[in-house]
Amino acid sequence: MKFRPLHDRVLLRRIEQEAKTAGGIIIPDTVKEKPMEGEILAAGSGLRAENGNVVPLDVKAGDRVLFTKWAGTEVTIDGEELLVMKESDIVGIVEAA
Q: Would you kindly state where each structural domain of the chain is located, as residue ranges?
A: 9-16+26-94
pLDDT in tens, the chain (97 residues): 688 888 889 999 888 766 655 666 666 655 555 667 889 999 988 888 888 888 888 888 889 998 888 888 888 888 888 989 998 889 888 887 6
Residue 43 CB-density burial (10 A; 0-12 exposed, 13-18 middle, 19+ buried)? buried
The fold of 9-16+26-94 is 10 Kd Chaperonin, Protein Cpn10; Chain O (2.30.33)
